[in-house]
Structure 1
Amino acid sequence: MEKTHGITGGVYLVLDPAQPIDLLLQKLEAALTGGVNAVQIWNNWDKETDKLTLIEAIGTLCRNYHVPLFINEEWQLLKQSLFLDGVHFDAIPNDYELIKKAVTRPFMAGITCSGDLNTVAWASKHQLNYVSFCAMFPSPSAGSCSIVMPEVVKEAHKTTSLPLFVSGGITPQNIIALKEKTPFDGVAVISGIMSANDPQKQVKIYKDALGIAQSV
C-alpha cells in the first residue's frame, strides 16, 4: 500500500458513512483533490452497511492522495483492515495500553476534548497524534458536545506540542475570527465540505482561511 503522511494540521474531513455511498465517494475524492489532510469515518453506520467494504473503498481513495484514514471509536476494525491508519476516540479509553497490544501494529490516534484539559494532558502523556476540541460553535453534527471557549484551546497550546484541531460549526468566516483569539493547527469539518456543491473548491477556501499555502 502507498504510505500515508502524518498529521500536523490543516483540514480534517469527517465522513458520515450513512450518506449514500456513491455520493460519499464522489465528494470525498473531490475533497481529497482540494487538499484534505486527514479523513475520519464517523461512527454512524447504517445496519446494512458492509463496514470493511466501505472502509476499503474510502481507504483506497485516501491512499491515492497519501492521506491518513481514521476510524471513530471502533478500534477493533484496525485489526481487520489495513486501509485504516488510526483511531479517533471520543473520550479517554480505559484500556489504551491493552488496545495497543491488541492491534499488534503501529497506528495513529487522536481524541476529542470537550474543554477538560486533563484530556490534553492524557493525550500528551500517551503520545497521541492530535487533539480535537468540540464544539467551538453550535452545530447539529457536534451532537452533545458542550461549547469550548477559545481560552481553553489557548491554554492547551501552552501545555502541549500536539497538533490542535477545532471542530463544531466551523466555517471559513469564523476561522479567521477564532484565530485572533487562540492559535490552532487545523479544523475538523463534516457538512461544511460534504454538503458543498464543490467540495474541492470548499477545501481550498478553508485552507485559505487557515493561511495554508497552496500549490497552483
Structure 2
Amino acid sequence: MNRTDLYLISPLDVTGDFPDRLARAIDAGDGLVTAFQFRVKDMDQHEAARLAQPLRTLCADRGVGFIVNDSISLANRLDADGVHLGQGDGTVADAREKLGKDAQIGVTCHGSRHLAMDAGEAGADYVAFGAFFPSTTKQTEHRAELELLEFWQHLFEIPCVAIGGITPDNCAPLVTAGADFLAVSGAIWNGDEAASVRAFARAIANAPPRPEGEFRR
C-alpha cells in the first residue's frame, strides 16, 4: 500500500506568527508533511511575494515542497517548487514552459476522471480530487467519491491528492482508498497545529490497509 503524506494548505492570513506555526506543524509530523501550498487571495503580487519568501525558505530548510496556488507568475517569481492550477488558472504546458521541467505541477480535477486523465496526458505531476467532505475553508461546488481514488490508483502512476473537509476523524477511508496525499487546511490551522498533525499521523498509521488488487468499478 502506498504511503499517504500530508499536504498542508495555508490559511488565507499568513501574517503575524504564521511562519512559526508552519514550522511547528512540519516539525510535529516527523517527515509526514511533504508539501505546503501558499494560498492567498486578492493580494498584490509584491505583497504576496513578501509574505511567501520566509515560508519558502522555511520549507526549503525542512525538505518540504513549496507550491503556489493558482499563480504561475508568482511561482516563477519565488522560484517555487511548483504550482497548483485550478481549472481556470492556466495550462500545464504554460506552467511547464515558465517553471521548468523539474517543477511540480498539480491540477484540480474535482470529481472527474476525465479532467484527471486530461491533466495526466498534459504532463501534470499530480491530480487533486475533492471535495470529499464539507469544508469550512472554501465553498465546495464539487464532490468526489472514494471510488475515484481507487480507480485512479488502480490504473495510473501519477499521485493523487484528496482534498475537502478532511480531518483526523474522517481521513482513514481516504487512506485506505489510495490517496497519496491528504490536503488539509482548517483541520490544522483552526486549532493547535502540532497536535493536529500528530493526530493525522496516528489516523493514517491506523487506517485499514486496502486488500492488494481490490478495485470496485
Deviation at 1:32, TM superposition (A): 1.3
Alpha-carbon distance change, 92 to 51 in structure 1, aligned in 2, over 3 angstroms: closer
Report the Cα offset of residue 125 of structure 1. Answer: 1.7
TM-score by length of 1: 0.83
Identify the residue that residue 176 of structure 1 maps to in structure 2. Answer: 172
> Structure 1 residue aligned with 2:123, among 122, 127, 133?
127
1:137 aligns with 2:107: no
In the TM superposition, what are the counterparts of 1:144-183 in structure 2 within 5 Å?
Answer: 144-180=140-176, 182-183=177-178
Q: Partner residue of 2:214?
A: none
Counterpart residue number, 2:212: none
Q: Contact (CA 8 Å) 1:186, 1:210: kept in 2 or not?
A: no
1:56 maps to 53
CA deviation after TM superposition for structure 1 residue 129, in Å:
2.1
RMSD between superposed Cα atoms in Å: 2.3
Superposition TM-score, scaled by structure 2 size:
0.82
Deviation at 1:77, TM superposition (A): 1.4
In the alignment, the residues of structure 2 paired with residue 177 and residue 105 of structure 1 have an alpha-carbon distance, to the nearest angstrom, of 34
| In structure 1, distance between residues paired with 2:45 and 2:104 | 28
Please say if residues 4 and 175 of structure 2, whose CA atoms lie closer than 8 Å, have aligned partners that are also in contact: no
- Cα 1:60–1:155 change in 2 (3 A) is same
C-alpha displacement of 1:179: 4.0
Note the C-alpha offset of 1:92.
6.7
Equivalent position of 1:187 in the other structure? 182
SS at 1:170's partner residue? Answer: coil
| CA contact 2:10–2:39 (8 Å) conserved in 1 | yes
For structure 2, which runs of at least 5 residues remain unmatched after alignment? 207-217
1:97 aligns with 2:66: no
Higher mean Cα deviation, 87-96 or 167-176? 87-96
2:103 equivalent among 107, 114, 139: 107
2:83·2:105 contact (CA, 8 Å) conserved in 1?
yes
Task: Show CA shifts across 1:150-177 (max 9, x none).
Answer: 1122212222112222111111111124
3-state SS of 2:144 partner: coil
Alignment gaps of 5+ in structure 1: 1-7
Q: How many residues end up aligned between the 2 structures? A: 201
What amino acid sits opposite 1:32 in the alignment? I
- 1:41-78, Cα deviation, whole Å (9 max, x unpaired): 11424459711111111101101101010001101113
State the secondary structure of the residue aligned to 2:16: helix
Following superposition, the deviation at residue 137 of structure 1 comes to: 0.4
Aligned mates of 1:49, 1:10 — CA distance in 2: 31
- What amino acid maps onto 2:81 in structure 1? D
Match of 1:30 among 24, 27, 37: 24
Cα deviation for residue 123 of structure 1 reads 2.7
Percent pairwise identity: 23
1:145 deviates by 3.4
Which amino acid is the alignment partner of residue 209 of structure 1? A
Amino acid across the alignment from 1:10: D
